[in-house]
Homo-oligomer: A and B are copies of this chain.
Amino acid sequence: MRSVTSDTVTQTFVDLMAPDTSPRLRFVLERLAAHLHDFARETELTHEEWRTGIELLTKAAKITTPERNEFVLFSDVLGLSSLVDMIHSPQDATNSSVLGPFHITGAPDLPVGGDLKGDNDGDTVLVEGFVKNRAGEPIEGAALEIWQTADNGLYSNQDAAQPDYNLRARQVTGPDGRYAFTTIRPAPYTVPDDGPVGTLLHATGRHPWRPSHLHFIVEAAGYRTLVTEVFPDDDAYLDADAVFGVREDLIMQYQMRTDASTIAPDIAARDRMSNPYYVVDFDFILAEAPE
């Protein structure tokens, strides 16, 4: 220890941890220190750059509130949040994607085929599909939580002009595993860029936009809970999501329709569907819960 050098500091850090430290914690911290140290050595990080980093974190501290966590946002725009999602997405099941900060609990129940659009402005969209397991079998009793932006790009808990729980619902599948609801096309929006994350984005010529998306949490007994988002294939920001949330299998197609007579009779808003309207057909594949 008394001869710590640039080459030995990582091992010294490891040696300082007590032998009875949890093996997992020890491993995670060893990897964290090794990567931090390699980063500093490879870049020959200057004192001024180190201070800039500390200042960004200190500014993040000042702007963080229970509603807005700038550290989460740093993790998001650096791709770390999405990477953690991807690492744990099971094979052959629908990929997970960022939960985001706008989820709230207690959304009202909506029967299969129910209407979420209500008085909201925007293109009418019928979103439907099935919740299935990896064998392709329908899952009965799967609960979907759905939330999305209004036409102005804001969620109900960001916008005093929207009713509580506007464009939020919980829907439970029947024996056929089917879910269905009518809603509006969500709008793209920006992540907050008035703080240090914005400084980082602006300095690297990145925009703060996220492509429009529908959020889902899909839960069913015996299956891993899926937290994900679904993106339209025609969104202008699909190829440059500020938070790296887009996955190939999470892209939906808005299919334009002009004839409402072909849609299922249980769609509540069927008689109000104006021309044109859109249909999204998207299935969720759940993986079995670990033993």
Check A251 against B2 for contact (C-beta < 8 Å).
Answer: yes
Q: Which residues of B contact A2 (CB under 8 A)?
A: 238-239, 246-248, 251
Q: How large is the interface on A (under 10, 10 to 19, 20 to 34, 35 or more residues)?
A: 35 or more
Sample of 7 A–B contacts (CB below 8 Å): A2-B238, A4-B244, A6-B86, A17-B206, A19-B205, A31-B42, A57-B60
Chain A residues with a Cβ under 8 A of chain B: 1-6, 9-10, 12-13, 16-22, 25-29, 31-33, 35-47, 49-50, 54, 57-58, 60-62, 64, 69, 71-72, 75, 78-88, 200, 203-206, 238-241, 244, 246-248, 251
In the complex, which residue of chain B has the Cβ closest to the Cβ of A5? B86
Instruction: Please give me the 3 A-B residue pairs with the lowest Cβ-Cβ distance, nearest first.
Output: A18-B205, A61-B61, A35-B35
Chain A binding surface SS class: helix
Among B1, B4, B5, B83, the residue within 8 A (CB) of A6 is: B83
Check A71 against B87 for contact (C-beta < 8 Å).
Answer: no
A58 to chain B, nearest CB (A): 6
In the complex, which residue of chain B has the Cβ closest to the Cβ of A56? B71
Q: Which residues of B contact A251 (CB under 8 A)?
A: 2
Answer whether A9 and B248 are a contact pair too, CB < 8 Å, given A46-B88, A61-B71.
no
